[in-house]
Structure 1
Amino acid sequence: MATFVLIHGGGDVGWYWHLLEAELRARGHEVVAPDLPCDDPAAGLSEYADAVVEAVGDRRDLVVVGQSYGGFTAPLVAARLPTDLLILLAAMIPAPRETPEDWWANTGYSEASREQAKRDDGKTGNDDPLVSYYNGVPRALAEEALHRAREESPTAWRTPWPLDAWPKVPTKFVLCKDDHLFPPDFLRRIAAERLGIIPDEIPGCHCVALSHPKELAELLVSYIAD
């Protein structure tokens, strides 16, 4: 049995993972899915990691999963706790001393998003979150997610990522084939450039834990089976 530590993305809540949590628990695993203190304007990345570490407590056999903006927090947690596997899910991959605010320009996100939008009739980078984040999520579930959304701390946004190097933890990267926020080609490039990783790919939108929780659970569990 593993303990999956699920770290949500920007302005979100631990509820985001509830369907995946049910799938993982049905397969015999434990789950920790805390709310990050993102609605505290004074909270930085260290406080985000503190919240996760506190929620994990003395649990072991940890698989740390960071989704989207959670990619800045997940490796901080993996560096502090005895982690068996670190999984980045449609996630931002930080470089040492890089702020989340600077990540977008440093990675060439805007150009990649514009190029993909030309190919998918403007779905990528669309201002409507039902298109850019929740495409493929049942409408009522997507509206519930939007209702639960919170503000994101400006302090964390401008905090340099504090590690000097990626933690010495086995790392996987999962991209979502129907992601309209982070184009798959963009994530393939960033994963290769920053981690030397070829991503695994799964059907679903940026919020894949809501659109394809069963498929995601099967993939995550397959990693520890291997």
Structure 2
Amino acid sequence: MATFALIHGGGGTSWPWRPLETCLRGRGHRTVAVDLPLDDPEAGLADYADHVIAEVRKSVGHLDGLVVVAHSWGGFVAPIVCDRAKADLLVLLAGMVPAPGEPPADWWANSGFGDKDIDDPVALFMHDVPADLAAEALRHGRGHAEKALVEPWPLDKWPDVPTRYLLCRDDRWFPPEFVRPMVRERLGIEPDEIGGSHSVMLSRPEELADRLAGYL
């Protein structure tokens, strides 16, 4: 049995993890989906990581068998959690991969991401998600205080934890042709692949649960 700590992306909440939590628990695992303190103007990236660890301890009572799964912007938080909690595994799901000292706000230019319009967030992030779930996910969106966006990423190297990257083949936000070279350059590994959009936890929770459990 593993404990999956699930970290959402920027401007999000733990809500979109619910279908995946049901699937992972049905496979005998524990899950802790965390709401990062995005609206706290005093909270930085290390505070976010401490919050994740505290929520896991509160829910489970220990950090044994910890698997940290980070979606999108959550990639800036998850490695800090792994470094502090000595996690067993880190999985970046369509995640941003930070470099030492890199502020999240600088990642977009540094990684070669470029600019994109977000006129239709459903079409961009959730084009394969059922309409009712997509609408509910949008209702759970939040603002993001500035501190954690502009401060340097605090680790001086990637944590000593087995790391997997799972890209989404139908992702219109982080398309595969962008992700593959970014992951090779920053992590030195080949990303794994799953079908689905940027919000694969809502569109394909059973398949995603199989992939995550398979990493164990």
> TM tier, shorter chain?
over 0.9
Structure 2 length-normalised TM: 0.96
Letter in 2 for 1:2: A
Note if 1:180 corresponds to 2:172: yes
| 2:132 corresponds to which of 120, 128, 140 | 140
Q: How does 1:103-118 map to 2 (within 5 A)?
A: 103-110=107-114
Note if 1:70 corresponds to 2:62: no
Which 4+ stretches in 1 moved above 6 angstroms?
A: none
Q: Structure 1 residue 159: deviation in Å?
A: 1.3
Q: Is residue 44–residue 153 contact of structure 1 (8 Å, CA) maintained in 2? A: no
Structure 1 length-normalised TM: 0.91
3-state SS, counterpart of residue 109 of structure 1:
coil
Q: Distance in 1 between matches of 2:129 and 2:145?
A: 26
Q: How does 1:32-181 map to 2 (within 5 A)?
A: 32-57=32-57, 58-110=62-114, 125-181=117-173
1:15-59: CA deviations, max 9, x gaps?
Answer: 110000000000000001110000222221111111101011123
Percent sequence identity over aligned pairs: 55
The unaligned stretches of length 5 or more in structure 2 are none
Q: Distance in 1 between matches of 2:53 and 2:151?
A: 19
Q: Distance in 1 between matches of 2:92 and 2:129?
A: 21
3-state SS, counterpart of residue 68 of structure 2:
strand
1:44-80: CA deviations, max 9, x gaps?
Answer: 1111111101011123101101100000000000000
| 2:192 corresponds to which of 184, 194, 200 | 200
Q: Structure 1 residue 127: deviation in Å?
A: 2.2
Q: Is residue 63–residue 85 contact of structure 2 (8 Å, CA) maintained in 1? A: no
Q: Structure 1 residue 126: deviation in Å?
A: 4.5
The unaligned stretches of length 5 or more in structure 1 are 114-124
What is the number of equivalent residue pairs in this alignment? 212
Q: Is residue 130–residue 203 contact of structure 2 (8 Å, CA) maintained in 1? A: yes
Question: RMSD over aligned Cα, in angstroms?
Answer: 1.1
Q: Is residue 45–residue 72 contact of structure 1 (8 Å, CA) maintained in 2? A: yes
Q: Structure 1 residue 10: deviation in Å?
A: 0.5
Q: Distance in 2 between matches of 1:89 and 1:26?
A: 21
3-state SS, counterpart of residue 132 of structure 2:
helix
